Structure 1
Amino acid sequence: MEVRLAKKLGFCFGVERAIALAEQSLAERTGNIASLGEIIHNRQVVQMLSEQGLRVVDDPAKAAGTVLIRSHGEGPEVFETLSRRGVEIVDATCVLVKRAQQVVAQLAKEGYQVVVIGQAEHPEVKAVCAYAPGVVCVDTVEDLARLPSGAKLGIVCQTTHSPGHFGRMVGQIVARGHPEVKIVNTLCNEVRNRQGAAVELADQVDVMFVLGGKQSANTRQLAQLCAAEGVPTHHLERWAQFRPEMAAGKSVAGVTAGASTPQWVIEEFVSKLRAFDPAE
């Protein structure tokens, strides 16, 4: 089968840095080493690091030894809790997420009602919201009813959202007539480039395969954007989830992958898909 790859796919620099810090910590330290939550949203990588000795803990109040802060970041109270416990902290927060945290804190300091456009339960968004009091998180038009009328707003966005969604939400907010709206673009260019490359490829193929963790927000976003182009789209974590009927009757397949998808997962999938005969 003919297989085409998106021009941009797979690991971003933030994920590469988080994994490198985890592997360095495991190589240089002994004793209890854990990440606070899964270090990235990819089960294969989490399993690989687990086999090397990296544990996953969910409660900072029970952490001990060395703790890695995942790429999604954490709020100030978590850092304070870990410090009080005498834990060695290895901060693997993505630099772009760290910037969003700093922007939120500065907007609040300037007197803005901070608004985060993002998924309220996503760990990155939870961490970003922790850097200012009373942050309002919105992600749909219906959510906008929670915005205080007459307030001056400072708006940021979840780094993995698409520019289109960010723009549409900002337009809806501005239309509400707030006296002042300050918008800071906190979108990740790495994610944006992957989104653009995926959409471009989707227009050239008969079927799209989007590789990455089911819990990965940026991978789900890629799948949604490809499907919106009208091409059959399948979001898979790896080749084991492939079914022949997904490519039956198709001649050309496109492959992209989320920012937390390792290269070996992509290579395995592409190699086996190229060997697949959709006519059989």
Structure 2
Amino acid sequence: MASIEIARQAGACYGVERALKMALEAAATPKQPVHTLGPLIHNPSVVSDLAARGVASAETPAEAERGTLVIRAHGVTPAVVADAEERGLTVIDATCPYVKRVHRAAARLSEDGYQVVVVGECGHPEVVGILGHAGENAVVVSDADDVARNAYAERVGVVVQTTQTAATLSAVVGALAVRVRELKVVNTICEATAERQDAAAELAGRADVMIVIGGRSSGNTRRLAEICQSRCPRTHHIEGADEIESSWLSGASLIGITAGASTPAQQIERTRERVEALMDA
């Protein structure tokens, strides 16, 4: 009989739980409509649940029209907040405090005369928000190979998307170091992200099968899946427990489960129950 093990660090982080709490508290006051600016977190199940509770998603402040606008955990640019306030919306800032730390670091580097390099996924909502604090000449690089595609000032300051890996940051810094005169690095990887990545890697190194739970648009979940895949070829990234197939578990002695930072505990439990049911069938 196969055993099931959940990674020692997995699932929703403080920033996600905080954002959900703030959105639900806003929804509990039925005096005005409540919108989140884009999906509150990268988890379709949670977003659907919020919609059922009356919290809709608006892509822009203009789309929200009136009422309360909740800024999602990924954060936004200062211009977006200003736009919402000018439209008379009540703004609730649910930006993760760790993302706020990146905003402050990027702003300080820019104010001190550094060209800011953001290590992260170009176009990701968190990265777009960081760029809004990083000065006009800021650039985004996704990995060490991407470094050569940009021109740099003599003084460069580096910040990193909170859900990136330490290995990616290290590789980018190494590639930048030979191109600039002065390099200042502020490691803004979230501690919770690093803990989840380390725990997933440890479990994947022992497991026969790994199941990674989280939205397919979630950058941190995709990175967990990549880390697990490198150590356990039979890794499966799912959004919901009903996706699991019995054939995935065939011949496995240890089935590992981990989850991205936008995955609530109940989704992890439903996955464990689904695996148990398939093993007993």
Whether the TM-score (by the shorter chain) exceeds 0.5 is: yes
1:11 matched residue in structure 2? 12
Judge which range, 53-62 or 254-263, deviates more. Answer: 53-62
Residue aligning to 1:83: 85
Q: For 1:1-280, list aligned pairs within 5 A.
A: 1-63=2-64, 64-131=66-133, 132-176=135-179, 178-277=180-279
Q: What is the distance in 1 between the residues matched to 2:183 and 2:156? A: 5
Contact kept, 8 Å, 2:244 with 2:275, in 1: the verdict is: no
In the TM superposition, residue 14 of structure 1 has moved relative to its aligned partner by 0.1
What is the number of equivalent residue pairs in this alignment? 278
TM-score by length of 1: 0.96
Structure 1 residues 99 and 150: CA distance shift in structure 2, 3 A: closer
Moved more, 13-22 or 268-277: 268-277
Taking the aligned partners of 1:71 and 1:249, their CA distance within structure 2 comes to 40
Cα distance in 1 for residues equivalent to 2:241 and 2:46: 15
Q: Is the 8 A contact 2:144 2:171 kept in 1?
A: no
The C-alpha deviation readout for 1:74-114, integer Å capped at 9, x for no partner, is: 10110110111111000000001111011111111000000
Deviations 1:48-84 (A, max 9, x none): 1110000100022333210000000010110110111
CA contact under 8 A between 2:158 and 2:184: conserved in structure 1? Answer: yes
Shift of residue 222 of structure 1? 0.4
Q: CA RMSD in A?
A: 1.3
SS of 1:234's equivalent in the other structure is strand
Equivalent pair of 1:202/1:231 in contact (CA under 8 Å):
no
Q: Is the 8 A contact 2:36 2:58 kept in 1?
A: yes
8 Å contact kept, 1:203–1:231:
no
Runs of 4+ in 1 over 6 A off after TM superposition: none
Is the 1:209–1:235 contact (alpha carbons within 8 Å) kept by the matching residues of 2?
Answer: yes
CA positional deviation for 1:29: 4.1
Q: What is the Cα deviation at residue 167 of structure 1?
A: 0.9
Q: Distance in 1 between matches of 2:209 and 2:124?
A: 29
Note the residue ranges of structure 1 that are not aligned, 5 or more in a row.
Answer: none
Q: Deviations over 1:1-28 (max 9, x none)?
A: 3101100001100000000000100112
| Deviation string, structure 1 residues 154-178 (Cα, Å, up to 9, x no partner) | 00101000111111111111133x1
Q: TM-score, normalised by structure 2?
A: 0.96
Kept in 2, the 8 Å contact 1:2–1:274? The answer is: no
Cα distance in 1 for partners of 2:172, 2:153 equals 18
217-226 or 167-176: bigger deviation: 167-176
Bigger Cα displacement from structure 2, 227-236 vs 96-105: 227-236
Q: Which amino acid aligns with 1:253?
A: I
Q: CA deviation at 1:262?
A: 1.1
Alpha-carbon deviation of 1:142? 3.4
- Which amino acid is 1:244 matched to? S
1:145 offset after TM fit, Å?
2.3
Q: Write the deviation string for residues 131-160 of structure 1: whole angstroms up to 9, x where unpaired.
A: 122210001333212432452100010100
Q: Which runs of 5+ in 2 are unaligned?
A: none
SS in 1 for 2:28: helix
Amino acid paired to 1:161:
Q
